[in-house]
Structure 1
Amino acid sequence: MKLAGIHHVAIIASDYARSKRFYVEVLGLEVVAEAYREARGSWKLDLRLADGTQVELFSFPAPPPRVSRPEACGLRHLALRVADLDEAVQHLRAHAVATEPVRVDEYTGGRFTFFADPDGLPLELYEG
């Protein structure tokens, strides 16, 4: 088997409208499709990054919280690539999104920082 890349990442939001605004207006993802799935009482929003990778944003009635701190077993975070980390950090801060101090990966030399989505899902910006 040869994997060609990541097609999408799925995220369940506790407040669909708030998360939709964050991913579309703050992070700038493109809306591909949106549908309300009445049988599930759930919204599904397909979003696309510039490279074609997609994020599926879901709402479900009363989803349980997911442990992310302390570090929990499983998917740790979603890393997004940016060309200019300083510009991206300024953009997030202009939208009242707190970011951690910029760090340098000791193995690759790449610069990165972490921030969180409205539900506290850890997100990373990686320059490169």
Structure 2
Amino acid sequence: MTIEGMNHFTVVSNDLERSKAFYMNILGLKEGYRPPFAFPGAWLYADNQAILHIMAGKPMPLNATGVIDHMAFTATNLQATVDCLKLHGIQFDLHRLKGLEIWQLFCHDPDGAKVELDFPASEPEPKS
């Protein structure tokens, strides 16, 4: 077996529309085809790849399973992202990764999943 890349992440949501709004309106993913599963949800795409699956309609786990700490996306347009997060009152932490100098921005989705956005080192520091 050879791993060729990441296929998708799945998050569980208390409120499907709120989660879709975050990932689509804030992070710019697009909703696309999703097979007709017996439970509500959405598949969100970057270009033609479904990279985030949202599952809804079942209770949130009381004790989260697994050890995944966060999901990370490659992104562009740091200033517009910072402006959008501020506009929506979403707190974030932004810093440069020492050694690579890329910008790393961390925030949380509406259900508490940690999201990392990695921006090219060539992008200027955002203005307040």
Name the TM-score class by shorter chain. 0.7 to 0.9
Q: Which has the higher strand share?
A: 1
Alpha carbons 1:32, 1:46 under 8 Å: kept: yes
Is the aligned partner of 1:79 residue 2:60? no
TM-score by length of 2: 0.79
Question: For the residues of structure 1 that align with 2:27 and 2:57, how far apart are their CA atoms?
Answer: 22
Number of the residue aligned with 1:106: 98
Corresponding residue to 1:126 among 109, 115, 118: 118
Question: For the residues of structure 1 that align with 2:48 and 2:36, how far apart are their CA atoms?
Answer: 26
How far off its partner does 1:65 sit?
A: 4.2
Question: For the residues of structure 1 that align with 2:40 and 2:117, how far apart are their CA atoms?
Answer: 27
Identical columns (%) = 22
How far off its partner does 1:127 sit?
A: 0.7
Equivalent AA in structure 1 for residue 44 of structure 2: L
Alpha carbons 1:82, 1:88 under 8 Å: kept: no
How far off its partner does 1:31 sit?
A: 0.9
Corresponding residue to 2:55 among 55, 58, 74: 58
Equivalent AA in structure 2 for residue 93 of structure 1: K
Question: For the residues of structure 1 that align with 2:66 and 2:59, how far apart are their CA atoms?
Answer: 23
- Taking only aligned residues, the RMSD between alpha carbons, in angstroms, comes to 2.3
Structure 1 segments (4+ residues) deviating >6 Å: none
Summarize deviations over 1:21-79 as a string: whole Å, max 9, x none.
211222221111256744xxx21211101372521111132222455xxxx97111111
Q: Which runs of 5+ in 2 are unaligned?
A: 121-128
Alpha carbons 1:85, 1:125 under 8 Å: kept: no
Q: Which runs of 5+ in 1 are unaligned?
A: none
Number of the residue aligned with 2:24: 24
Cα distance change on mapping 1:36 and 1:19 into 2, 3 Å? farther
How far off its partner does 1:87 sit?
A: 2.4
Equivalent residue pairs, number? 120
